[in-house]
Amino acid sequence: MTGTSNGFAVRTERVSRQYAMGQALVHAVDDVSIAVRAGEFVALLGSSGSGKSTLLNLLAGLDRPTSGAIYAHEQNLAGMTSQELAHHRSHTVGMVFQAFNLLPRMTLEENVELPLRLAEVDRAERPARVREAVERVSLAARLSHRPSELSGGEQQRAALARALVNRPTILLADEPTGNLDSVTGDAIMHLLQEINRNLQMTIVMVTHDKVRAARYAHRIITMRDGKLVTEGVSDEIA
């Protein structure tokens, strides 16, 4: 997958995100600087409320930082218009969520095709792109099924296919195994590892599962109370 001149797919410089909650000011992300190399598999580890999902949303361009800078392939997301951020989400990153977030009214095929519609990919090209994505997650036989007709693992694989269909360079996963049993969760992690290896795709995964993070990620970044606590290769953290 595409790298950059300095080798970083994504990096942050002293990024902060604050929320006003009544009279109180919540520092969800507080002065965090990280850098993820192209093709790297990084796990953002931390307990609930540590700010890891907020940081992931900032990397995805779903949210804007209060201060600091976020670079994706050296393009500063903090200075982008909402239209440019939408383009970033559509073309540069793919996202998977703990709750799968498939649209229940659509079939698997329609769910996977949705990002292609948003990216205005030519209609003639779409069937092949959808097939390629679902074959990568081994769901080609379930194209006409709706999410309610799929198991949890299949739904997460479908969400993964949807995240991959626009061929992004960065995959952002927010607790991708959080709603799955351990066997299915391991299968999803294998799939992510395979995608990282075969496509050289940069993956940033939010998790609170230290064991899985250590087993599958190249590097683990730990957060607590919005701050970066530790950063190191997974073997050292484990």
Partner 1 sequence: MKLRDLTELAARNLREAVLRNSLTTLGIAVGVASLVAMLSLGVGLQELASTRLSRSGLFDAVFVTTQSNMRAFGGPPRPLAERASTQPARKLDDDARQQLAQIKNVVEVYPEVRFPTEVQFEGKPYMTTVAGIAASARADGAFDEMKGAFFSGPEANEAILQIELARDLSKQTDSLIGKDLVLRYAEKQALPPDDVTPVPKHSAADDAPASGGFSLVPRELKLRIIGVVETEPATGFGGFGRGRLLIPLQIAQNLRIAQPTDMREMLRGNTGKPTYETLTVRVRSPKAVEAVEDTIKQMGFGTFSILDATKNMMLFFTVFDSLLLIFGSLALTVASLGIVNTLVMAILERRREIGILKALGAADRDVRRLFFVEAGAMGLLGGVLGVAMGWLIGRALTIGTNAYLKRQELPAIDISSIHWWMVALAIGVSFFVSLAAGMYPASRAARLNPVEALRYE
Q: Which residues bind partner 1 (CB under 8 A)?
A: 57, 60, 62-63, 82-83, 86-87, 89-91, 95, 97, 101, 103, 105-106, 114-115, 117-120, 123, 162, 166
Nearer to partner 1, 115 or 185 (CB): 115
Nearer to partner 1, 17 or 219 (CB): 17
Nearer to partner 1, 127 or 232 (CB): 127
What's the token pair of residue 158? Answer: 């479908």
144-162 in b/e form (b: 16+ CB < 10 A) is eebbeebeebbbbbbbbbb
Selection from 42, 70, 53, 43 nearest residue 19 by Cα: 53
Nearer to partner 1, 95 or 237 (CB): 95
Nearer to partner 1, 203 or 237 (CB): 203
Considering the complex, what minimum distance in angstroms separates the CB of residue 162 from partner 1?
7
Considering the complex, what minimum distance in angstroms separates the CB of residue 92 from partner 1?
10
Nearer to partner 1, 147 or 185 (CB): 147
Considering the complex, what minimum distance in angstroms separates the CB of residue 44 from partner 1?
16
Considering the complex, what minimum distance in angstroms separates the CB of residue 80 from partner 1?
12
What's the token pair of residue 212? Answer: 């899985």
Query: Which amino acid does the sequence have at 186?
Result: D
Q: Residue 220: beta bridge partners?
A: 43, 232
The answer to whether 97 and 152 have CB atoms below 8 angstroms apart is no
Considering the complex, what minimum distance in angstroms separates the CB of residue 6 from partner 1?
26
Considering the complex, what minimum distance in angstroms separates the CB of residue 217 from partner 1?
22
d(CA 193, CA 235): 16
